[in-house]
Amino acid sequence: MRHLGFLGIFLILSGCGGGGSGSSWVSIPEDATGLWAGHLAVAGGGVYHMAGLFIEGNLYLFTTDGLYTDLRAGTYAISGDRLEAETIDYDLFTGLPLSTSAFSGHVETQVNLSGSYVSTSGEYGTFSLDYSPENYRGASLISMSSNWVSKFSVATVSIDTLGNFSSSNITGCAAYGTVRVPDPSTNLYRLTLTMTSCGMLDGVYTGYAFLTDDVAYNDTLVYIVRNATNTVIFDMMSRS
């Protein structure tokens, strides 16, 4: 845990006066904000690559190793260096909720997150994530602007240099909205999208996006949005 110390010094400037000193400590909670990468170890199972985004009390953890693919979305709180989180666990292919999980562990700001988890499915294990250097690559609408295509070409996204976002997929579902850069020094973007012709998914969503690497620098767009009904839309897209 980080601490900030304050030293108070009192001087008495008269006659045969003396001196005194005192000190106090103010505890500063650790901060999990940012992109993280590491692994998830399932008890009795395998060890899988896992990445995560923690931002403003919301967390998104995604695992994409082989047949073990899921997205965990929920909320977290930090007290001192202690992290507690609750997630809904979704299948990445179908988007359907599979279970819920409880995570607990320790966080060291911009260094490491580690602990254990247990799911209502009966799965349990441990996790360890390191602060990703991708946090430091910055953000700009020029970097984000491109035409993007999802795996198997089922959806496309277009983002221009003004931050205008438009998307469609093979089912006719469409989305439009805006991309904004809250902090040019950090690889994180804010999204506001409206989905139409998507059936039960129609509505307004807000969320986040970031750029990462597959075979080249910044060649992959990841975005995650949700709305009041707790629906989560997640996609990883490559520049077309």
What is the mean pLDDT, run by run of 10 residues, along the chain of 240 residues? 25 34 63 96 93 94 77 94 95 82 97 98 97 96 96 88 96 96 96 94 94 92 87 84
pTM of the complete model: 0.83
Q: How far is CA 37 from the centre of its chain?
A: 10
CA 35 – CA 82 distance, rounded (Å): 18
**Residue 143 has what DSSP assignment?**
H
Q: Strand, coil or helix: what is 2?
A: strand
Render pLDDT for 41-73 as a digit per residue (tens, 0 to 9). 999 988 999 999 999 999 999 887 766 678 899
